[in-house]
Structure 1
């Protein structure tokens, strides 16, 4: 009789689950270890996935200990953002949903036998046959569907890591902008204090008749203009700090946080390696996700093996020559391979599959080209910004200090007028502000180099899944 055989097949369906995959996928924080390790390598901070009230309370205590009433560094700001930003916590839920999808697929189909006893025996048999046949069809596709779900799960891991890196980079950038704004406000404040003293002196000289009203008005106007500039700089600094606090997930009483009055001094040399392009190709999470997308399409459309590996650019070793100021600078150049797998598209069951594959392959190739360009631009920006900031620090500011000292000596010796002293003070302020801005731009360029090496903004694709 067929019924015992069909029931046996149904039991076989129930026993087809993959224990190893199930064990990995059902964990509360499945896949999060790779996010933690990737974030530690990329940005030097480790995220936390808060899944309970106890987790949230522990994070709040940790955040309070890190920032409350303290002057925070960029590293501290990034660490707080990675454990306290609610948007990032929400994005981790996508990873949890993906692990749930993998768990369900790995469990395999759950056979159910629904038989109506009111029908004839032949109807019962046909009902059983149809039910078990459907279950056997699910059983036959369990392995490829599980493989596809595993690829999607790895993509979800990369997406979570990309969002973590994006937040870390944005937070560090916000810290630099906030501290740079406070540094500019402090420089204007110092000059404003000197101008107020000069303005008060002008009032005294006016009373004695040693300074006419027009000259007094020039003194007062300069002081008033500096007051307006100082107010604008303070406002910009406060707004920049508020943006930083928002990224860190701070509000209310938790915002009793301070940032330094000035950015760190320039390092001895730019912190960017000459092999930054190679680092980008090896570490970019968007490129890794793109490769997984090709693998997912191959599984979805039953592609059978790679035919070959192709590079988005040929391996070229040579020397790149650039001319600047009449001088030729030789820079060793090495175009590195980024390999893209090509599958046999001949036996594809549909035009849709072929087009999906070609779309993904060309998108990945363009991403690799963009990654190379991002890395080269980041390297040039870091080295160039460092040179500019160092020039302001080592060349311009020493000359400006010398001018200020000589101008003050001449003024005290009554060899120069007040107007010349005011002009020198204004030029000196402009130079100090430009030097501070150049230093800020260098630190921002360093942050962009991190983004160029590790990438981000991975978008999960669910095309082709059923």
Structure 2
């Protein structure tokens, strides 16, 4: 090995000078942009005590006022530690991107042989020549994987925001329902007490009195359930917002937001899902990165290891001899077919999964929009027809009672039915806001959860009026 290889050292120096480096924000700017487009709020990585302190100060400021759906989302994005923990995957992906953009460290060998008055020294510096040749492609693949990690981080943030909105609407509705079930309980107590007095006076049958007592028992049980459901819904909101300690005393509004005048009617919803949904974009990026990786595998299937470097040898009493050394692993037993077959299988797997995600996204958007429109129509039906009708019936019964055409028990039974109707209207209004949240998630975020059940309110049945 007497030929010199003078160009290798300058080339290595040039490569080392152009090494890939870490981004100043760890890729958080892109994650924040994607999240803001879908939730109206950005998100940041909290990597220092100053970041955590600033977030805590903003959370405390937001919690000094009664929560709204929008402020609940902001608190969740600032304060949810589980989301911050998931952002560690972003740092891992960036580290892999930087590593892929740098040439592997050179290896140095040194040999010393001596004896019989003679000394021989071998020195060599080896560089990964195959890594140098494939560096651009490997860097591109790592960059796509980093972008996919950014999409995943944004998807996690959108999921946190959607959970916060859903939990907020559920907590407000549950709190509101407790008030109405308390009214049912008060009416049942009054009816039962009056029935007991009339029974003692001989003006009421035992059967009618027991019916009123049974209704009171049912009303008591339903109120207990409603109170627990309110606690459970509030605790779900607490978890979504990541709250503890003094922050648990936050206040909720008394009622849900009013329905909009008209429902949303987005155009080309299926195409929006294919263009904007984060899980679809992730699947596409994964397929692209896998395809690029497959091209790299095919190009190197017959070359497993290729190294080149500078070498010299010196022997006592003789001039130093310089040259270069190339090390190549010969494909005598493994021709690279296994690696190529594996890469092709992984690529086809990514292609089929991308197609599945796209088909599911289109279907989920159609289902979510159907649930949204149904929830809107039901909530509007209760607001504009059922509740006003029940109020008119109540007013008419009050006139009949004042004219001594109806008994006090008929009046109490009607009051219980009216409250039950209002409770059903609250649940329908809650279902609308939950469906609206899931529609937005299905359009631009990821696969939504199970659509809210839109059934009748569960309340104590009204006891039959006594005559």
Q: What is the TM-score with the length of structure 1 in the denominator? A: 0.80
> Which of the numbers 80, 90, 93 marks the counterpart of 1:85?
80
CA distance in 1, matches of 2:128, 2:189: 87
- Alpha-carbon spacing, 1:12–1:255, altered in 2? closer, same or farther (3 Å): same
Mean alpha-carbon deviation: is it higher for 33-42 or for 377-386? Answer: 377-386
Contact residue 371 and residue 435 of structure 2 kept, 8 A? yes
- Partner residue, 2:346: 356
- Alpha-carbon spacing, 1:451–1:399, altered in 2? closer, same or farther (3 Å): same
> Which of the numbers 239, 254, 263 marks the counterpart of 1:261?
254
**Are 1:97 and 2:92 matched, yes or no?**
yes
CA distance in 2, matches of 1:88, 1:3: 58
- Partner residue, 2:284: 291
Q: Secondary structure at the match of 2:101?
A: helix
CA RMSD in angstroms comes to: 2.8
**Count of equivalent residues:** 407
Deviation string, structure 1 residues 394-435 (Cα, Å, up to 9, x no partner)? 111111111112222223333223443343233323322222
Unaligned runs of 5+ in 2: 299-336, 449-467
- Partner residue, 1:22: 20
- Alpha-carbon spacing, 1:409–1:202, altered in 2? closer, same or farther (3 Å): farther
Offset at residue 253 of structure 1 (A) = 1.6
CA distance in 2, matches of 1:189, 1:61: 37
Matching of residues 388-403 of structure 1 within 5 Å: 388-403=378-393
Deviation string, structure 1 residues 57-106 (Cα, Å, up to 9, x no partner)? 221121111114x3201111111111111110011111111111112222
> Which of the numbers 397, 404, 410 marks the counterpart of 2:394?
404
- Partner residue, 2:122: 124
Contact residue 72 and residue 259 of structure 1 kept, 8 A? yes
CA distance in 1, matches of 2:219, 2:144: 60
Contact residue 159 and residue 457 of structure 1 kept, 8 A? no
Offset at residue 173 of structure 1 (A) = 0.9
Deviation string, structure 1 residues 236-276 (Cα, Å, up to 9, x no partner)? 01111111111111012221112122211111111241322
Q: Secondary structure at the match of 1:359?
A: helix
CA distance in 2, matches of 1:413, 1:218: 26
- Alpha-carbon spacing, 1:428–1:143, altered in 2? closer, same or farther (3 Å): same
- Alpha-carbon spacing, 1:116–1:254, altered in 2? closer, same or farther (3 Å): farther
**Are 1:385 and 2:375 matched, yes or no?**
yes
Contact residue 13 and residue 136 of structure 1 kept, 8 A? no
CA distance in 1, matches of 2:2, 2:187: 101
Q: Secondary structure at the match of 2:45?
A: coil
Offset at residue 379 of structure 1 (A) = 1.5
Please say which structure displays the higher CA radius of gyration. 2
> Which of the numbers 58, 63, 74 marks the counterpart of 1:62?
58
CA distance in 2, matches of 1:218, 1:13: 93
- Partner residue, 1:425: 415
Q: Secondary structure at the match of 1:289?
A: helix
Offset at residue 110 of structure 1 (A) = 2.7
Q: What is the TM-score with the length of structure 2 in the denominator? A: 0.80
Contact residue 110 and residue 121 of structure 2 kept, 8 A? no
**Are 1:146 and 2:139 matched, yes or no?**
yes
